[in-house]
Amino acid sequence: MKVEYLAQFIDITILKPHTTIQQIEETVKEAKKYPFASLCIPPFYVPLVYNLLKGSNLKISSVVGFPLGYQQRDAKLFEASGLVKSGASELDVVMNITAFKSGMIDVVRDELSSIVLENSGIVVKVIIETSLLDYDEKVNACKLVIDSGAHFVKTSTGFGSSGATLNDVRLLKSIAGDCIKVKASGGIKDLQNTLAFIEAGASRIGTSSGIEILKELKKKGMSPE
């Protein structure tokens, strides 16, 4: 497996609340060396990173309603459109989990579909935070994301009680089929787990360890020169 091939599965992320501008700049510098699917950054840094990436093919993704998802609908719509105007090509949107668990399915669907419709041409990944859902809720959340017109269903924010699991990815993939793709995120830090999640059905991997994972691939001699 080539490094360039694996990199295309990875959204390299830097979303910790204590992230500094220096860390953002260093991550951008390193990430530009590889064909990652995207660089996922805090909303505050999107204008800065857009300028830093001029002349690069690396896409910017950022987060909406992160990490709890219970902001009002209009606030999420405003945030999403602002990120796109600032240079984001992809949006990772946290589902309104409290509304979903309260049975307000139409409210959640309307919010997500509105974000998709108002940001045409932008890849939308919906985070359902699987650690907070039981089996039936995971199934219904995935179906809801499909109905919304989003492009990915994503397991986790990385800020919940646990991150992605192989069983959850297999479940989401079995429901999503070819309708939408699955993104695994949260706690994926090494090559072995990255490959396992891809084998389980993930088309994207969200990880802050993307560069280290690619270096591990090279070190193990799995990537031909």
Please identify every residue annotated as catalytic: 92, 154, 183
Closest CA to 186 of 165, 217, 214: 165
Phi, psi of 170 (to 5 degrees): -60, -40
Q: Is the peptide bond before 47 cis (omega within 30 degrees of 0)?
A: no
CB neighbours of 109 closer than 8 A, spacing ≥ 6?
A: 144, 147, 148
CA distances, 186 to each of 63, 99, 118, 160 (Å): 14, 23, 28, 8
| β pairing state of 38-41 and 60-64 | parallel
- Report the distance separating Cα 200 and Cα 164, nearest Å: 11
Residue written as tokens 């910790």?
16
Q: Cβ distance 138 to 166 under 8 Å?
A: no
Q: Cβ distance 168 to 130 under 8 Å?
A: yes
